[in-house]
Homo-oligomer: A and B are copies of this chain.
Amino acid sequence: MSNLLTTSDEILASALTLIMSGGYNGFSYADIAGVVGIRKASIHHHFPSKVDLVRTLVKQYRKDAEVGVAALEQGVQDPLELLKAYAGHWARCIEDSSRPFCVCALLASELPALPPEIAEEVKAFFRFLSTWLTSVMDRGSREGALNLSSQPRVEAEAFMASVHGAMLSARAYGTPEVFPAILAPTLQRLSPTVAQ
């Protein structure tokens, strides 16, 4: 049953969980070893250094996000529904505590103290997310499916900031409901059907 995942996948998965709770400096190889049920030295076989491990992790996290977004766009066309799906994804993650925080958002807060290779990957994630959201905003604006009050780029950045800030608040208050509560008015304002 543990063969469904390779050891290195298990290492990455537990590192993800650990980073999500305490950031880059908040976990150690010993912590991972404890979770995976392996010795510290064995982790070095898969990832020679901590920087290797986290760089791989963030890179894969971004690729997963790219795949997820592509799949989402296959199933959903309406721009507003795309934004709702994105927000909804995080609402569920926060609700069931499975992935209560975006790893890249957390790492971004530690950026100045991060090894440069990792910092670069984190920045790339932000650029990707921003690019995607901008494209959604842009299309929504042209199609009349979104009610924008600024340029698509600015709306995209503002939306992303709301999502990240709402994650932070949900964590600070310890109440998951605060996340959708914060996002709801933002989504409603973007909706063309209730334009004032």
By a beta-carbon cutoff of 8 Å, the part of chain A in contact with chain B is 21-26, 101, 105-106, 108-113, 122-123, 126, 149-150, 154-155, 157-158, 160-166, 168-169, 171-174, 178, 181-182, 184-186, 188-189, 196
Contacts and interface: CB of A to CB of B under 8 A. Distances in A.
Classify the secondary structure of A's interface with B.
Answer: helix
Contacts of A186: 158
A18 B122 CA distance: 20
15 contacts: A22-B110, A22-B113, A23-B25, A105-B168, A109-B171, A123-B173, A126-B169, A149-B189, A154-B181, A154-B184, A160-B165, A161-B164, A161-B165, A164-B168, A189-B189
A105 to B, nearest CB: 6
A112 B168 CA distance: 12
For this chain, the copies found in one complex come to 2
A140 to B, nearest CB: 15
Contact of A154 (B126, B182, B189): B182
A188 B174 CA distance: 31
A185 B113 contact: no
A101 B171 CA distance: 18
A111 B181 contact: no
B149 A188 contact: yes
Given A161-B164, A164-B164, 10 more contacts: A23-B23, A106-B109, A108-B171, A111-B172, A126-B169, A157-B181, A160-B169, A164-B165, A165-B165, A165-B166
A108 B100 CA distance: 13
A191 to B, nearest CB: 11
